Amino acid sequence: MRRRKTAVAAACCLALLLGTLLNVLFVPGSELPPPPPPPRDGAPPSPPGAPLEPPEEEGGGGRAALARQLRERYEEVLRYRQPRAAGVRRAVRPRERRLMDLAPARTSAEQQQQPRGRAAAERGRASAELGLEPPPLGCRELRAAGGVQYLGSGYTKAVYKAVLNRSLAVALKAVDFGGHDVARCVRQFAALADCYRLAAYKIVKEMVLLQRLRHANVLQLYGYCYQDSNDIPDTLTAITELGSPLEMIQLLQTSWEDRFRICLSLVRLLHYLAHSPLGSVTLLDFRPRQFVIVDGELKVTDLDDASIEESSCTSNSDCFMEFPARNFTLPCSIEGRCQNMNEKRNLYNAYRFFFTYLLPHSAPPSLRPLLDKIVNATGELHWGIDETAAQLERVLNLYKSGEYLQNTTRISKSEYRRVPEAFIPDENYRCWPSYHHKGCLLSVFDVNEAIEICDSYSQCKAFVLTNQTTWTGRQLVFFKAASNHIMPDPDKITYVKVTD
């Protein structure tokens, strides 16, 4: 009896062992993974860590997804192009046609699905001109460029400085092959040429917007050039006006007058964008690095992330704007659009990046109440861009005309002796903010204001009126710590303090 039980137990164990072995050997998916497929024609091998195949999506694989993105970018560019009168066709210039060649070609499967008439219309639409004017500068000037210097790069573009025609300093913008956008696209789709085209649409969009949005505070487009690069034919380089990077720390060390000019330039730009020929334009990537300074004026340089799309809504809760420190809910109009969302987004970004730092500090005391009112109203979005622009223009008028001095007591504490055609070369002391880093050089409306400033500094014993003026027409004045050495100078007038 015991032997029978032992045999039965042994048979059960053997059956269990055989079943487990069979499951391990023949379970689905137990085979070794297949080797990676060879690279597709014309595509670079996948970088380490990249998926073996582009991710599959509805309506086709990764290639179809990339084709959709290309078409969406192309159609976005067309929305910003120069409108033409109905039935009027303009001759396409050779350089313009190169831009049209960026139109995404349809696959053979897509062409078979469309009727012939629609396919022909589609080809005509793909060839539609982008409305760019003939560039004054192109490849011939670019080939002779000198002093090429790398300035920096972002997600999509690399920017260089160059000198054309031996005299004109310009900025060159081109797709950065090592940038985030191209690298991410190549990792996902393994198609360098198409990934380049996808990124190049951002430059084309920016070029179109630079020509459509003509304003003193929008960077000028000088031209563009196509040339072969990185084994890709017809890579695009945009040639634009050159500006200096906006460094906020340096701006905080400049005079209030120059900082006010930056804020005024920005508000004039935002007022134009709110009422532009394209409609209300918002800058989705609104940061100081998107702006440059040209001859003291602020100019927007990066427009590839600009948008004219107004958010649709069914209730006020759909019109929610979220910022790091504040959130806002705007009204939903009866047309189903969030009222002035593009304008308000620009304005609040101007407040948080510029106004709070640049407007109130070291401003003339009589202007500070108005400046504080402007900062508070924009920070709460109580005002729109029209009212904000009007109030800043009012500040400018008060400052240029000297009216801001009318409510101040201007009784001099000291007497001054006027010395015409004279200058004090040394005897400097430092003050802040100053137009001169080794001395105290300030702007004044008139001599009385210069006397008032000198009286307010204990170390000031004299001042020199120069023949130089600021952008507002105010006179630049050197304030001096002594008057021991007075030199002749026909262009200057010196005032020496004779009593304290």
User: Catalytic site residues?
Assistant: 285
For residue 267, give every residue at least 6 positions away whose Cβ sits within 8 Å of its Cβ, in sequence order, or none. Answer: 350, 385, 388, 389, 392
For residue 50, give every residue at least 6 positions away whose Cβ sits within 8 Å of its Cβ, in sequence order, or none. Answer: 187, 188, 190
Q: Taking the CA atoms of the chain, what radius of gyration do you get in angstroms? A: 33
- Amino acid of residue 263: C
d(CA 272, CA 386): 10
d(CA 476, CA 442): 6
Q: Give the bridge partners for 464, in sequence order.
A: 478, 494
d(CA 320, CA 24): 56
